[in-house]
Amino acid sequence: MSGPRRFELAMSPHVISNQTTRKIMFDVIIALLPALAAATWFFGPGAFLIVLVSTATAVMAEYLCLKFMKRPVSFALDGSAMVTGMLLAFNLPPGVPFWLPVLGSAFAIVVGKQAFGGLGHNIVNPALLGRAFLVASFPVLMTAGWTAPEQWRFGDSNVFDTHGIPAVEIAAVPQADAISGATPLNVLKQSFDLDGSAGIARQDGDLQEAGMLEERADAIRSALYSAATYENLLIGRRGGCLGETSVILLFVGGIYLVIRRVLELRLPLSYLGTVALFAWAFGGSGWFDGDPLFHVLSGGVVLGGIFMVSDMVTTPVTPKGRIIFGIGAGLITMVIRRWGGYPEGCSYSILLMNLTTPLIDRYTRPRIFGEVKDNG
Amino acid sequence: MTKARTFRGGTHPPGSKNLSSGCAIRRIPAPELVVVPLCQHLGAPSNPIVAKGDRVERGQEIGSQNGFISLPTHSPVNGTVSAVEDAPMPHRRTGPAVIIETESEDGGQVFEPWSDHTAHSPEELVERIRLAGVCGMGGASFPTYVKLSPPPGKCIDTLVINGVECEPYLTADHRLMLENPEDIKLGMEILAYCLGVDRYLVGIEENKPDAIELMEKKGCTVLPLKVRYPQGAEKQLIDAATGREVPAGGLPMDIGVVVQNVGTAVAVARAVRDGEPSLRRIVTVTGRGVASPGNYDTSVGTPFSVLIEASGGYTEDVERLISGGPMMGISLYTDEVPVTKGTSGVLALTSSEARDVSEGPCIRCGKCVDACPLRLTPNLIALAAENGRWDMAEEFGALNCMACGTCSYVCPSGRYLVHYIKKAQDAIRARGKES
């Protein structure tokens, strides 16, 4: 060797684990695939196309933003935009026109993510912000695009057109025509509305009317809180957003993420646990007689719990903070479901809690090693 | 064997120890020119007491102790001083050194050998250890005699000998335990005698079952430890051994524990039994960037280049040269730096081994928070440091960081978290001095 050899300098550590942001993002995408398969099975190829359009739009919007801001455009393919696009589509009713996911996805990326500085800097979950934007701007489309599961294959002869609630049990409900909602949670909300009407009737002294309304509300709820409903919810035969159909397949994705060490269990467990506990305590007509299973299985809490409550960027990094976040989101979800104006509160609960993340992080830092501990 | 213990947090970098763990320690003769640093220990450099042209003998003091946290320096060879000047050092800066032309390597016994240390008082032994220039050989190079002189009122009840060697690649301590358990045991007994403790044990990770078995056979109490980085960090080792936490900003002494490396124990044994100052150490030369990795018994002052040559030279694809292990080691631009008492390894990494990841934004995954053995929030401290918010970095506990590198290792975005935190530490300390 001629002359003294010179080496380039570098900072320690000189080795690094093989986990990368890109791998994490692609793991999340893989974990979303079973639920995508369920969406396609129950809602048809149209649902798949909505996801595809939404994802493609997200990547394109990310690319254009990066290009415009003269940042490395390779970020557009790091998988994070794809995750946002997929999650936005998962939060849409299956029957929406294609321009809706395009608009929502573009809003999610441009306003929800890139406006704050791109990956890692956004304050709230971009996909949920995109959804909130669509709900606010196109309320009718966002609440009327529900499709009955498997309608696309069976047409009018579909046996599941009661949106997950077994047809037989619905038929047993007196004045079943009162059920005009399209998702199990809509139906539940209607039962609460009937309770409200009953209360007013009782005040007016019309006890007979009140008794009838209450009876109907209870009949609807017992149809909802039944093994047949649970089965449909688990499998995915229900009306609802695209991605929230099959609880089993969502859990399959979740387990994959746990194995890949991407999903940290504190967030989803504290969230779903709070939902269940709240449902049991306050979800029924009295105290502690609610149905936790129905509340966990229905709506978007499993999708939200696995993929959005545990979104890394917008949730706390401290162990204690994650539990607080999950509990907070769970409480808000259930307050909205039980007493709020919307049948489902999952996405708003997460958006609201996202805003508290910096504060939670700051005040839940772990006790530093060696700080005030008795060595007795 | 008792159940292996450990600490909370940490990570599992691949060990890569099999490159050199099977290589018996080979003694390297001192090269023609040795560069003896006057600051091989933590603290003030010793003052040179020889000049160009002086003849020196092996074991002769060539630098005198300069203050409490300092040590004398000795010549590792018989020869002639060719210069006293600044030279490049393995910590990347230059430092004062005595450069000696080697003639021979015999002798070295400059103190009276004490075959039975119990015939002497602990004070005499601590003084011998000071005069012999023994400092911690695990990496931090803290003068050993200071650790053996607890201020009055501090009661020490436990001595832990550190044979953990949790840095990947390094095998010097492992080989030392396999090849010289007697000296480790003697050194441990001397150290325990100096401190007046009855409870002393050797902490060894379970990835060295042969060392655990051998040390137990020699009658040492072994504390088996789970393989986890940074198990060998003083605080984490004490936590595993005693369940006590060293107070933030405090010393192990404050909770009655002293930790000494296995190499230090050997140096102590030699200083007392053989009357020889600390002149040698075991160095692992490894990585896929050298042709044949090995473990070497070398004189301090031996240039890294000599060790690289002994290991068959560099391979074609060598990219990075490191003094120490891959987690905390310092990358060097040249191999013309000398082995010091604290040099545990010389690492030549190829491009496929060394980290080659560009930095991305923090995605707040929290992996660093879960992994930090001191339970800091590295991502938040780094973010504060990046934005010059030293106040916030301090509030988040930046000064507690020991720079073990666990956070940077686990970061999926490849962020240089340790670097930012160190930067914050410098800024906070500088600000403290100003005010």
Please identify, among A109, A144, A179, the residue that sits at the C-terminal boundary of a domain: A144
Q: What pLDDT shows up at residue A283? A: 79
This prediction's pTM: 0.92
> 3-class SS at B224?
strand
B268 and B50 Cβ atoms separated by less than 8 Å = no
> Is A297 within the bounds of a domain?
yes
Distance CA A197, CA A220 (A): 15
Residue of A nearest to B7 (CA): A369
Residue A174's pLDDT band (cuts 50, 70, 90): very low
Q: How many residues does chain B have?
A: 435
What's the burial of A353, exposed, middle or buried (CB within 10 Å: 0-12/13-18/19+)? buried
Same domain, A230 and A298: no
Same domain, A46 and A128: yes
Check B366 against A366: CB less than 8 A apart. Answer: no
The answer to whether residue A374 scores a pLDDT higher than 70 is no
Long-range CB pairs of B192-196 (<8 Å, 24+ gap) are B192/B159, B193/B117, B193/B118, B193/B122, B193/B125, B194/B122, B194/B125, B194/B126, B194/B129, B194/B148, B195/B122, B195/B148, B195/B150, B195/B156, B195/B159, B195/B258, B196/B122, B196/B156
φ, ψ at A80 (rounded to 5°): -70, -40
Domain of residue A54: give its range: 21-144
Residue whose structure tokens are 């997929």: A86
Same domain, A131 and A192: no
* Residue environment code for B17-56, b if the CB has 16+ CB neighbours within 10 A, otherwise e: bebbbebebeebebbebbbbbbbbbbbebbebebeeebeb
The CA-atom distances, in angstroms, between A168 and each of A77, A237, A370 are 49, 15, 64
Q: What is the pLDDT along chain B (435 residues), one digit of tens a residue?
A: 568 899 999 999 999 999 999 999 999 999 999 999 999 988 999 999 999 999 999 999 999 999 999 999 999 999 999 999 999 999 878 999 999 999 999 999 999 999 999 999 999 999 999 999 999 998 889 999 999 999 988 899 999 999 999 999 999 999 999 999 999 999 999 999 999 999 999 999 999 999 999 999 999 999 999 999 999 999 999 999 999 999 998 999 999 999 999 999 999 999 999 999 999 999 999 999 999 999 999 999 999 999 999 999 999 999 999 999 999 999 999 999 999 999 999 999 999 999 988 899 999 999 999 999 999 999 999 999 999 999 999 999 999 999 999 999 999 999 999 999 999 999 999 988 876
C-alpha closest to that of B386 among B435, B433, B422: B422
Q: Tell me the one-letter amino acid at B148.
A: L
Distance CA B264, CA B270 (A): 10
> Is A13 within the bounds of a domain?
no
CB proximity list for A376: less than 8 A, separation 6 or greater = none
For A365, the token pair is 């830092």
C-alpha closest to that of B395 among B424, B369, B420: B424
Furthest-apart CA pair in chain A: how many Å? 105
B358 and A20 Cβ atoms separated by less than 8 Å = no
A84 and A126 Cβ atoms separated by less than 8 Å = yes
Q: What pLDDT shows up at residue A195? A: 85
B307 and B346 Cβ atoms separated by less than 8 Å = yes
The answer to whether residue A162 scores a pLDDT higher than 60 is no
For A93, the token pair is 């009713």
Helix axes A247-259, A227-235, angle to 10 degrees: 50
User: Quick check: B154 contacting A, CB < 8 Å?
Assistant: no
CA dihedral A323, A329, A332, A334 (to 10 degrees): -90
Q: Is the dihedral of CA B390, B396, B397, B401 positive or negative?
A: negative
Residue A343's pLDDT band (cuts 50, 70, 90): confident
User: Quick check: B44 contacting A, CB < 8 Å?
Assistant: no
The answer to whether residue A182 scores a pLDDT higher than 70 is no
Residue of B nearest to A261 (CA): B367
B375 and A369 Cβ atoms separated by less than 8 Å = yes
pLDDT digits (tens, 9 = 90+) for B70-97: 999 999 999 999 999 999 999 878 999 9
The percent helix, strand, coil of chain A (3-state, each to 5) is 65, 0, 35
Same domain, A139 and A32: yes
Same domain, A132 and A159: no
CB atoms within 10 A of CB B100: 28
Q: What pLDDT shows up at residue A218? A: 84
B341 and B168 Cβ atoms separated by less than 8 Å = no
DSSP track, A179-248: ---SSHHHHHHHHHHHHHHHHHHHHTT-HHHHHHHHHHHHHHHHHHSSHHHHHHHHHT-S-S-GGGS-HH
Domains and CATH numbers, chain B: 25-108+279-350 (3.10.20.600), 112-274 (3.40.50.11540), 367-434 (no CATH)
pLDDT digits (tens, 9 = 90+) for B276-317: 999 999 999 999 999 999 999 999 999 999 999 999 999 999
Distance CA A249, CA A238 (A): 14
Distance from CA of B45 to the nearest CA of A (A): 25
The CA-atom distances, in angstroms, between B241 and each of A32, B138, B164 are 44, 18, 12
The answer to whether residue A180 scores a pLDDT higher than 50 is no
Q: What pLDDT shows up at residue B184? A: 97
Q: What pLDDT shows up at residue A177? A: 42
C-alpha closest to that of A244 among A104, A89, A105: A89
Kindly provide the ipTM of the predicted complex, given to two decimals: 0.92
Check B333 against A9: CB less than 8 A apart. Answer: yes
Distance CA A246, CA A236 (A): 4
Distance CA B364, CA A360 (A): 13
φ, ψ at A207 (rounded to 5°): -70, -35
The answer to whether residue A170 scores a pLDDT higher than 80 is no
> Is A370 within the bounds of a domain?
no
pLDDT digits (tens, 9 = 90+) for A5-55: 899 999 999 999 999 999 999 999 999 999 999 999 999 999 999 999 999
The answer to whether residue A285 scores a pLDDT higher than 80 is no
User: Quick check: B351 contacting A, CB < 8 Å?
Assistant: no
Check A21 against B413: CB less than 8 A apart. Answer: yes
Count of domains in chain A?
Answer: 3
Q: Which of residues 250-289 of B touch A (CB under 8 A)?
A: 250, 255
Interface test with chain A among B234, B236, B355, by most A beta carbons within 10 Å: B355
What number of H helices and E strands is found in chain A?
Answer: 17, 0
The CA-atom distances, in angstroms, between A26 and each of A186, B75, B107, B321, B368 are 34, 59, 64, 34, 21
Please identify, among A117, A144, A171, the residue that sits at the C-terminal boundary of a domain: A144
CB proximity list for A227: less than 8 A, separation 6 or greater = none
Same domain, A122 and A164: no
> Is A252 within the bounds of a domain?
no
Distance CA B435, CA B433 (A): 6
Please identify, among A144, A172, A206, the residue that sits at the C-terminal boundary of a domain: A144
> Is A120 within the bounds of a domain?
yes
Interface test with chain A among B156, B288, B331, B344, by most A beta carbons within 10 Å: B331
What's the burial of A13, exposed, middle or buried (CB within 10 Å: 0-12/13-18/19+)? buried
Same domain, A295 and A314: yes
> Is A315 within the bounds of a domain?
yes
Same domain, A308 and A270: yes
Same domain, A47 and A106: yes
B403 neighbourhood in chain A, CB within 8 Å? 12
**Which of A24, A264, A361 is the closest to B412 by Cβ?**
A24
Q: What pLDDT shows up at residue A156? A: 64
The answer to whether residue A172 scores a pLDDT higher than 50 is no
B168 neighbourhood in chain A, CB within 8 Å? 15
Q: Is the dihedral of CA A41, A42, A43, A48 positive or negative?
A: negative
Same domain, A179 and A92: no
* Residue environment code for A164-189, b if the CB has 16+ CB neighbours within 10 A, otherwise e: bbbeebbeebeebebbebbbbbbbbb
For A298, the token pair is 């229905």
C-alpha closest to that of A87 among A291, A241, A206: A241
**Which of B322, B360, B374 is the closest to A14 by Cβ?**
B322
Same domain, A37 and A131: yes
Q: What pLDDT shows up at residue B190? A: 98
> Is A12 within the bounds of a domain?
no
Check A317 against B364: CB less than 8 A apart. Answer: yes
> Is A1 within the bounds of a domain?
no
Kindly list the strands in the beta sheet with B94-104, ordered across the sheet, starting from the edge strand earlier in the chain: B33-37, B94-104, B78-88, B55-56
Q: What pLDDT shows up at residue A376? A: 45
pLDDT digits (tens, 9 = 90+) for B402-415: 999 999 999 999 99
In this predicted structure, which of A81-90, A189-198, A268-277, B186-195 has the lowest mean pLDDT?
Answer: A189-198
Bigger pLDDT: A232 or B165? B165
Distance CA A49, CA A39 (A): 11
Same domain, A138 and A34: yes
Distance CA A237, CA A243 (A): 12
What's the burial of A369, exposed, middle or buried (CB within 10 Å: 0-12/13-18/19+)? buried
Q: Which of residues 84-113 of B touch A (CB under 8 A)?
A: 92
The CA-atom distances, in angstroms, between A176 and each of A143, A208, A219 are 21, 19, 10
pLDDT digits (tens, 9 = 90+) for B152-196: 888 999 999 999 999 999 999 999 999 999 999 999 999 999 999
Distance CA A329, CA A281 (A): 17
DSSP track, B42-100: SSBPPEE---TT-EE-TT-EEEE--SSSB--EE-SSEEEEEEEEEEE-TTSSEEEEEEE
**Which of A16, A78, A318 is the closest to B357 by Cβ?**
A16
Check B405 against A12: CB less than 8 A apart. Answer: yes
Q: What pLDDT shows up at residue A190? A: 79
DSSP lists the bridge partners of residue B101 as: B33, B80
